[in-house]
Structure 1
Amino acid sequence: MWITLRHMFRPKVTMQYPEQRWSLPDNYRGLPALVRDEEERVKCVACFLCEYVCPPKAIHIEAQEIQTGVEKGPRVFEINMLRCIMCGYCEEVCPEQAIFLTKEYTTVGVNRAEMIFPKEKLLEMGGIRPDPIKKWQRLTSKQGPSETAHEPVCAGRGTAR
């Protein structure tokens, strides 16, 4: 009885989910999205690195040649959100910073086909990003690179025999 009374006067931790949402940390990894540059061109150059590095093979790209200043671009760019594990490898490996992970974490689909996001939906989620996202900010900050950014890691201490 004492335990029940003690818990009755504690603050509530339950939230009314759709109306209230938890504040997410800056490095939260949500749904992936594609971005456009300031001229509203797709930043992706269809290099296939994100497709190659994706552990669950959730990304599918088909390239096409385009006539702008870029050699090629994606004709088809799809991400299967049922397979995506939001690991962030695609964001890290992208040389053009064309894909990044948003803070969005809710996806709804009534069938499996709706959970395969095409290029148009991914671009709608990402919007326009003229600036580099966050990849190089640590290395170019006023403080310089962090102390441990490029130090070799020692497996153990002691002397080799």
Structure 2
Amino acid sequence: MTLNTLEDVYHDQLQDIWSANKQALSVLTELGQAAKDEDLSKALIAGSNGIRDGMNMIESICSKHDIDPNGEHCKGMEGLVAEAAAHVLEEDFGDNDVRDAMIITQYQRMVHYALAGYGCLVAFANRLGHDDDGAVLQDCLNHTYDGDKTMTAIATGGVNAKAA
């Protein structure tokens, strides 16, 4: 597709964030299984549920605009997922708390990528007058921020101290 307008960019980025979420979801389940801290494991499960909800919302927006959400492959998230696998799932750890600290690191890298994507989509939707889309995407953005804050609290509330 040739991107000629902001509407074209908006459609492309809806597909991109859907792909990013799909890829993140695939590794998040494995990170949750690898986590030993109970709060971290619960937060990763909640994060998985949040990603699924976000994907459903994006699918609904795509349907409204007659867009196939599968139309794009997010190479940025592909790299972040590969990093998470390499640094958590394929790495040897002598201490579970150290692994948990690394899980949070990799999770937050993926989340920060999603924050950028959702932030841009909210701005595009609002500029294009897609107010309903903007509200839904803002909700996705807010939930993503909440997930990031939860991980920071888990890290600073105990995981990092145990890993040290």
Q: TM-score, normalised by structure 2?
A: 0.23
Bigger helix fraction: 2
Greater C-alpha radius of gyration: 1
Q: TM-score, normalised by structure 1?
A: 0.23
Which one has more relative contact order, counting CA pairs under 8 Å at least 6 apart? 2
Bigger strand fraction: 1
